[in-house]
Structure 1
Amino acid sequence: MINFIVLNGKSESVKKLYDTAQEALKGNLTFKPAESVNKISGGGAWAYVACGNADGEISKRISSKQSGVCLINGPVLRMGDSYDVSGAALDASTKHDAEYIFDNISGSYNLVSITSKNGLLAFGDFSGTCPIYYTLIDGVTCVSNRASVLHQLRGSSGYNISSLSWLIGHSNIFGDETPFDGVNSVTAGKYLKSPLGSSDVRIHTFKNQIWPSNDNDEYLDDLSDSDWDVIVEELQKNFEAAYANLAGDLKLSLTGGKDSRLVLALALGSGLKDEITTFTNGPEGSPEISCAKSIAEKIGVKHIANVQTPQVKAQDFANTWDKLRWHNHRMESYICPWDGATAGRNLEKITADMTGFGGELYRGPGGHAKQFKNLSFMQNKDVILSKFINYHQKTDPFNVLSSLYKNAQIGWLYNWLEENIKSVRFDVLPEKFFVENRLSNWNGPLAQNVTTRIKLMPLLSPKVARLVFKLSPEARNKELFHYTVMAKLAPELVSMPFVNATWDKSLQGRYGLDISETPYDSGVKYTSRSVQAWQAEFFEGQRQEIVSLLQRAAESTNIKQIFDVDTLCNFIFEKEVMSNIEVKAVLSAISIAHTLLNERSAVEDNGQP
């Protein structure tokens, strides 16, 4: 992986920012740099600075020729049939427009290129899982995959209060604003373009979207065999490209769900049965581990159970506070530090494995937010706004968010719906919202900024997404995509039960296959995600310290503009047991306080800071 910053604009201003950009990047890395590179064009119209977390990353992810330069980062898989994605993308950028490049790259990535044909281009993949940010400084467009780099480059200590206010209500930021004043993200499905050496910047929407247009209300209950064959071929090519990127054994994360089993089907369909080692993480007695082990035994692949032992020693609260500050630096104040106590350091070994991430995007409107599962919003379009207001969780559980920002957020959601209804078929609005405001602003920062854990995502393909969205919401909700691809590649996996899930009964007999009518029974009751042990102990033992932090922020920052600090502090003292959502709200408040107090501690994933 690399962290980078690219400059384009007036030559005098680019030259002036060039040295500062190098310092800004080095001051905001999430890893100990193994190599670095910086270059400025002869005329000074553009420049870039990049650092890599391992030897060879710079040459792999940056192509620079007389015709231009291209930087591409993230677990990108391929461009067409080429695994040299930065080179192929640079070549394409000298001949084709952004639409062509966007349509031919698979995987998760962000890309910046500078050529005489297109000038400066910058965008991320269609799923939003590798965010990219920009700002304008003195006639220079500055682009980076670290928003905090641009914040430092601006020389600004200002934070975007409106953006941070989303954390209290939803645990992550919505929209294209960032926690830093003057720094914005390039929304998934859009691209930034600026002429070479110019300060004129435009944000364009890709014409060849994955989302079906609202001028065509027709959708299909099934795809043709040829369309399914295209999907299978694309996914297999992605899998083979991902396999080529693995330095060691082929390790597959296998849970009791359908996404990871689909990736297993891709491995089996690619003839790699003997190369596979599956692994599952979970506590003692986990149904996920039991189910995955059963599947591995039946199909004859290796399985490793990573059993997580309960915490037995008392929590080191000082270390937990350190980790929360590290999390705030690494994730750039973007998300609630739900997993803040796991934000360790000294992760010296870079690991890479394949994941079924992205499968939820193809699972229908209810695949990522349960309130859309019954498709009631299709009959009553007036209720859809309320479903987005409480997206993924009840908004503002403690009722402490200021009325100013609560009303502003409702207004923003209304405007988002009004704008997107004009261009996108109504039934895919939940998925579009999911991509732009959950994947881009939660999963994206997580995946992009923990640079020692590389998750290869073979399910991500714009061509596959467009075909899947031809299907009706009913067909997507019953997981026709997962079933059909699995049936074509590894039919033996279809009949094996899942943890806490089954196939839709209408799929019985499809391709002559039987489905399991009941979920996997391990003898242990399945429990959904709950408050983690470290969180419960932290809140029990650190109530006064949490309140002191919030009160300190109230005295010296404008945190009170965001939420009622006194009321939240009373809740913290009075609430004996907190729910998931309430824990998220308090952790988000801690993150906001650390941000506004500038208590963000640098931590490197690879070695000491």
Structure 2
Amino acid sequence: MGIFLVRSSLTPFDKNQQEKLIRSGKQTIHIQSQSDNSYFLANQKIALFHFATDNYFYSTKDQIYVNQSESKIISVTIIQGYCWSSTTIGSTGKILTAFDIYLLLSKNNFDAEKVRDLLAGEYAIIHASDDGNVIAFNDRLSIEHIYYSKNKNISSITNRIALLPHIDDQYEYNLEAMLALPVVGYMLGEDTYIKGISRLAQGAVIKLQNGDLKVNENKDWIYQNAPSKSEVKNPEVFNSIVEQGINECLANIKAIFSSADNIPLALTGGKDSRLILALALQAGLRDKLRLFTNGIEEHPDVIVAKKLANHLKLPHTTNKPGRFREPTLAAEELLRRLATHVFQNDGMFGAWDLKQGKQCVKGLVLAGFIGEVFKGYLKKPFNYPTMPNPEQMISAHGPFDPLGILKEDIRRKISTKVLNRMENYLGLGSEFNDIPDLYYIKERIPNWLGTARRKDADSNQVVMPINSTGLIRLAFALNAPQRQQELIHFAMLRRLEPSLLEIPFAQQTWHRGLTAYGASNSIFKDPIPAPKNLPQHGSWQHTINKNPKFRAAIFEILADYTQSPLWELIDRQKTLNTIKTVGFNMPQMISAFGLMTIFFKVHNIKIPQKALFANSSGFKTEDSVIIKDVKSGKLFNFNQDKKNRLTEKIDSNIKPIIVARKAMALIPGGENTGELSFEGFVDSENSNFIPGWVWCLDFPFMQLTVEVLENGKIIDRIVAGQFRGDLKKAGKGNGHHAFRYDTKGKPVESLRFRVMDTAFELKKSGGRK
């Protein structure tokens, strides 16, 4: 894992000044670096900085190569992410280091497009030469991000946006771009949260010469060297391309596991993990496979995974979740995580799953997300004879502005932006019915999957064995109904491991349309359903609907900033009313956490907590950050591995990170969100199943999380969400506030029930109340 920054100026940099700036800027990176390097080239007109940590594939030395003759530096090459040869033919089956990339660039006359054709993986590559030339490019899907800007006489290229506004005060927030997080859940296009800083588009290359930065775009990369829609109607052509795609995937597998003794492979109930399993078997890795699934025994993913393992006679492990069936976080803890998320994810990714790293480790995780590119983004049949309406098209998959808080003029602007983006998708051989799937690959892949990868890479190297340019191009040579039928998945499994076609899936099955391509009726099995009331989501979702203290806290934060510039774009009163009165469904939860992300970012409600190394690594974990309380103006030293984290500092020659008072309070202990009113009872007479109910008068729509205590110790958590008509009739919220707890033989008198994150205990009644 590495963070790089290249600055190019028309005039020489002051070396001492730049190094002082970067010492200050280093505070803004979200990882603790093991290796810090700075280089000055082209008569000090190019300044290059690199901060790196070891990861699963690379040591810090592997991520950078310095070509020098005696004491003179000729060039510097950096790789972030991972890459290898894109085909099995001629593949060494090993990860390519920065030195290997330098050799490839040299052999190909530093032509980034030619080199990119030779690579597979997720990577960002930058090469700076002493002659004043810099080139930068990334994987075609732009999963590894590169950002660039030209400010005054300085051009900058980096993969950590926060570095730029910290060392240069000339930047301002791009509020309209940031609103994409609550509107659709991720950024749109190549905009970032800072005006003048852009993400490198898919297929593009940066060329910087003597301070002049240019971006060579290639919006048609999907259709270049790709078969036409008419050509793939020929079964021989189609099968030949599938075979090439399989070879690309096998090259991925070979490189990923070339030196692994054991291969942990997560199985789910879907098609992507099954396809990865088939590829691993084809690659001869059967004896190294260690299959596992996360979940409870009743979960359909676990049931399907066990069927697969039994069929193949392979061992399988089920990793069961923690003891609490309904995980809900305390308000203070969730606020702290949210503020840390905003810092670590650079404000570019909504906190819908709270991606943040506590430690830098060297793990490996296989993922199949790219398989969605081969499928249909919209699952229901559709036909677009003309350009689709952007809001309607997005809403067919996930709501557009699910909270309904945008002001009308900004809603029109964002819709127009998406429409312009969609018109730009149309290229060689594309048609209107390709727009939904082009939207997925052009918007969701880089801005959702790619941005999330910024944090995934801290704790684990996430790899996608089925990431194949050839298969992506084949997907868009097919028509929309063929993608919806998941023809590529079917064809690959039929070729690799046909017996796996007949094992059922979790909550899905094969499309009947595949009979036209030779599918046997025996593969159309009923899906394994999810049991009723099976928890489907993580702790954060339960918290926003089941912990009124957290709702009260975010309501207070939004209400306190009466002059926030965001209120010029979103309806303040409607936003506050929605937070106060609405129980959120999934899209609304995603939108709410997107809103909190941008709100926290704009108002500096962030905790600059880095992902640190474990003490067992032998590396010193202490990494202090100088922060400034925006309200008092005082400086503090944020000692990240100390229990007493904040110590006041008199002065500093390092530019501090500005932090709001609300975040400062979360570091040592959190804020008091005020008292809430509750009412609730449990029936003490029934010894087998204890009925009860509880509701919050301040948030009457919420279904509360209740802790069960035995002798003062929490033994379980339940949700008071069952409906009772008598409660509704009595005016107790919406009536969905009851529960029935199985004591499992425990004596009733030893149990107490308390609303989580509060001191409120339910009273015991002599009978039903």
Is TM > 0.5 for Structure 1 vs Structure 2? yes
Q: Give the letter aligned to residue 567 of structure 2.
A: K
Task: State the partner residue of 1:295.
Answer: 308
Find the aligned partners of 2:393 and 2:242 in 1 and give their Cα distance. Answer: 32
Task: State the partner residue of 1:140.
Answer: 154
Is 2:18 the partner of 1:44? no
- The answer as to whether partners of 1:123 and 1:192 remain within 8 angstroms in 2 is yes
Tell me how many residue pairs correspond in the alignment.
595
Is 2:174 the partner of 1:160? yes
Find the aligned partners of 1:323 and 1:64 in 2 and give their Cα distance. Answer: 38
Task: State the partner residue of 1:105.
Answer: 119
Task: State the partner residue of 1:491.
Answer: 498
Q: Give the letter aligned to residue 560 of structure 2.
A: R
Task: State the partner residue of 2:668.
Answer: none
Find the aligned partners of 2:340 and 2:607 in 1 and give their Cα distance. Answer: 5
- The answer as to whether partners of 1:172 and 1:442 remain within 8 angstroms in 2 is yes
Task: State the partner residue of 1:588.
Answer: 594
> Cα offset for 1:531?
7.6
Find the aligned partners of 1:495 and 1:578 in 2 and give their Cα distance. Answer: 38
Task: State the partner residue of 1:286.
Answer: 299
Q: Give the letter aligned to residue 474 of structure 2.
A: L
Find the aligned partners of 2:86 and 2:393 in 1 and give their Cα distance. Answer: 35
Q: Which has the higher strand share?
A: 2
1:205-220, aligned counterparts within 5 Å?
A: 205-206=217-218, 209-211=221-223, 218=230, 220=232
Q: Which is worse superposed, 456-465 or 267-276?
A: 456-465
Task: State the partner residue of 2:54.
Answer: 54
Q: Give the letter aligned to residue 482 of structure 2.
A: A
> Cα offset for 1:358?
0.7
Cα deviation digits, residues 2-45 of structure 1 (max 9, x gap): 11112234351474773155335521222222222222226223
Q: Please tell me the root mean square deviation across aligned C-alpha atoms, in Å.
A: 2.9
Q: Give the letter aligned to residue 204 of structure 1.
A: N
Find the aligned partners of 1:132 and 1:593 in 2 and give their Cα distance. Answer: 24
Q: Give the letter aligned to residue 8 of structure 2.
A: N
- The answer as to whether partners of 1:172 and 1:336 remain within 8 angstroms in 2 is yes
Cα deviation digits, residues 534-588 of structure 1 (max 9, x gap): 4345653322211111122333x3121221122111122122x211122222222
1:329-368, aligned counterparts within 5 Å?
A: 329-340=343-354, 343=356, 345=358, 347=359, 349-363=361-375, 366=376, 368=377
Find the aligned partners of 1:398 and 1:356 in 2 and give their Cα distance. Answer: 30
Find the aligned partners of 2:21 and 2:290 in 1 and give their Cα distance. Answer: 43
Task: State the partner residue of 1:87.
Answer: 99
Cα deviation digits, residues 292-328 of structure 1 (max 9, x gap): 1221121122322122233568732211111000111
1:497-508, aligned counterparts within 5 Å?
A: 497-508=504-515
> Cα offset for 1:107?
1.2
> Cα offset for 1:117?
9.2
Cα deviation digits, residues 233-276 of structure 1 (max 9, x gap): 11101111111375x62111211101111111110000000101
Task: State the partner residue of 1:261.
Answer: 274
> Cα offset for 1:215?
12
> Cα offset for 1:433?
2.1
Say which of 522, 527, 542 aligns to 2:550.
542
Give the TM-score, by structure 2 length. Answer: 0.72
Q: Give the letter aligned to residue 355 of structure 1.
A: A
Find the aligned partners of 1:261 and 1:14 in 2 and give their Cα distance. Answer: 56
Task: State the partner residue of 1:28.
Answer: 28
> Cα offset for 1:53?
2.1
Task: State the partner residue of 2:743.
Answer: none
Task: State the partner residue of 2:332.
Answer: 318
Find the aligned partners of 2:519 and 2:455 in 1 and give their Cα distance. Answer: 45
Relative to structure 1, the CA distance from residue 325 to residue 219 in structure 2 (aligned partners, 3 Å threshold; closer, same or farther) is farther
- The answer as to whether partners of 1:215 and 1:423 remain within 8 angstroms in 2 is no
Task: State the partner residue of 1:65.
Answer: 67
- The answer as to whether partners of 2:4 and 2:50 remain within 8 angstroms in 1 is yes
Q: Give the letter aligned to residue 227 of structure 1.
A: I
Relative to structure 1, the CA distance from residue 107 to residue 428 in structure 2 (aligned partners, 3 Å threshold; closer, same or farther) is farther
Q: Give the letter aligned to residue 6 of structure 1.
A: V
> What SS does the corresponding residue of 1:3 show, helix, strand or coil?
strand
- The answer as to whether partners of 1:259 and 1:357 remain within 8 angstroms in 2 is yes
Find the aligned partners of 1:423 and 1:224 in 2 and give their Cα distance. Answer: 19
> Cα offset for 1:79?
5.6
Q: Which is worse superposed, 78-87 or 39-48?
A: 78-87
- The answer as to whether partners of 1:5 and 1:21 remain within 8 angstroms in 2 is no
Task: State the partner residue of 2:417.
Answer: 412
Structure number with greater Rg is 2
Is 2:2 the partner of 1:8? no
Q: Give the letter aligned to residue 57 of structure 1.
A: S
Relative to structure 1, the CA distance from residue 116 to residue 527 in structure 2 (aligned partners, 3 Å threshold; closer, same or farther) is farther
Relative to structure 1, the CA distance from residue 479 to residue 515 in structure 2 (aligned partners, 3 Å threshold; closer, same or farther) is farther
Find the aligned partners of 1:404 and 1:349 in 2 and give their Cα distance. Answer: 46
Relative to structure 1, the CA distance from residue 440 to residue 538 in structure 2 (aligned partners, 3 Å threshold; closer, same or farther) is farther
> What SS does the corresponding residue of 1:499 show, helix, strand or coil?
coil
Q: Which is worse superposed, 40-49 or 253-262?
A: 40-49
Find the aligned partners of 1:293 and 1:54 in 2 and give their Cα distance. Answer: 35
> What SS does the corresponding residue of 2:179 show, helix, strand or coil?
helix
> Cα offset for 1:216?
6.3
Q: Which is worse superposed, 132-141 or 19-28?
A: 19-28
Q: Which has the higher helix share?
A: 1
Relative to structure 1, the CA distance from residue 302 to residue 355 in structure 2 (aligned partners, 3 Å threshold; closer, same or farther) is farther
Give the TM-score, by structure 1 length. Answer: 0.89
Identity of aligned residues (%): 21
Unaligned runs of 5+ in 1: none
Find the aligned partners of 2:145 and 2:46 in 1 and give their Cα distance. Answer: 22
Unaligned runs of 5+ in 2: 69-73, 614-620, 622-639, 641-769
